[in-house]
Amino acid sequence: MVRKRPKNLNLLTIRLPVPALVSIMHRVSGALLFLSLPLWLLLFWLTVSSEQSYQLAQVFLHSLLVKLLLVLLAWAFFHHACAGIRHLALDAHLGLRLRYARASSMMVLLLTGILLISFTVAIW
Amino acid sequence: MVKAGHGFSDWAWQRISAGLMLIYLIMLTVRVAIDGPQATGDGMLNFADWRAWCQPMWFKLSSLIFAWALIYHAWIGVKEITMDYLHHPVVRERVQRVCAILSWIYAVLILLIVWNT
């Protein structure tokens, strides 16, 4: 007997629970950070290798596009770090109950927001 | 393909590397707070000050360990993501190989950069 199961593939009507949202964003931010590794290597190398390259890095860092990119990557870093610390706590069996898992997910989002706003204000 | 039985060590190393990075980041935050790179003169940080700040041997060594922990952590993450989303074995193998080579290149480059600082 073939059972007809209800299907709902409309992404706009699927509500992702907050812990699931934090989890998938942990992955997305991790992938983004991996892709950004050459940029960090290049930037660090420019700042420490010579006076000229240091100046070049400064010009580079002051451009609008790079600043916007930095804000995106800062989001990825803050989210990944906060969600990662939450994961370590879960591994230690801290906050496993649904209520706490939801609350800590909200805290990750909140803390990431605060850190990101502070970072953005600081670089502008 | 990843051989069976490597799952636990990947899981453990991902957490060990995360812990190392966390310790370094806390240390870095403390250092920036109490002994940040000092700007002399016009208020802008200059090359010599910044480079000098990066030069203590303990700082270079811990930064290198941080960078390597990060690269290894990222590599484990990439492996996990490719195993979940790339179902074609040849495609997955290729993407993993490219990412592995990139990771090695990054690991050597950061060693050279820190060495020459």
Beta-carbon separation of B113 and A41 below 8 A: yes
CA B63, distance to chain mean position in Å, is 9
DSSP B44: S
In tens digits, chain A (124 residues) has pLDDT values of: 667 777 767 777 778 889 999 999 999 999 999 999 999 999 999 999 999 999 999 999 999 999 999 999 999 999 999 999 999 999 999 989 999 999 999 999 999 999 999 999 999 8
ipTM value of the model?
Answer: 0.89
Distance CA B38, CA B36 (A): 6
Residue B1 has pLDDT above 60, yes or no: no
The amino acid present at A16, given as its one-letter code, is L
pLDDT value of position B2? 52
- pLDDT for A5: 79
Q: What is the pLDDT of residue B42?
A: 65
Q: Which residue of B has its CA nearest to A36?
A: B74
pLDDT interval class at B102 (50, 70, 90): very high
Other C-beta atoms closer than 10 Å to the C-beta of A22 total 24
The domains located in chain B, with CATH, are 8-115 (1.20.1300.10)
Cβ–Cβ below 8 Å for A34 and B74: yes
| C-beta atoms of B50 and A48 within 8 A | yes
Chain B residues whose beta carbon lies within 8 Å of the beta carbon of residue A76:
none
Test the B interface: residue of A40, A48, A88, A119 with most B CBs within 10 Å: A48
- Using an 8 Å CB-CB cutoff, list chain A residues near B56: none
CB A34 to CB B51 under 8 A? Answer: no
pLDDT given at position A15: 80
Please name the helix (run of DSSP H) or strand (run of DSSP E) that holds residue B32, with its range, or none.
Answer: helix B6-35
Quote the CA–CA distance of B92 and B107 in Å, as a whole number.
Answer: 22
With residue B28 as reference, give the H or E element that holds it. Answer: helix B6-35
Domain parsing of chain A, residue ranges: 63-124
Tokens describing residue A1: 């007997």
What pLDDT is stored for residue B37 in this prediction? 85
Q: What is the pLDDT of residue A120?
A: 96
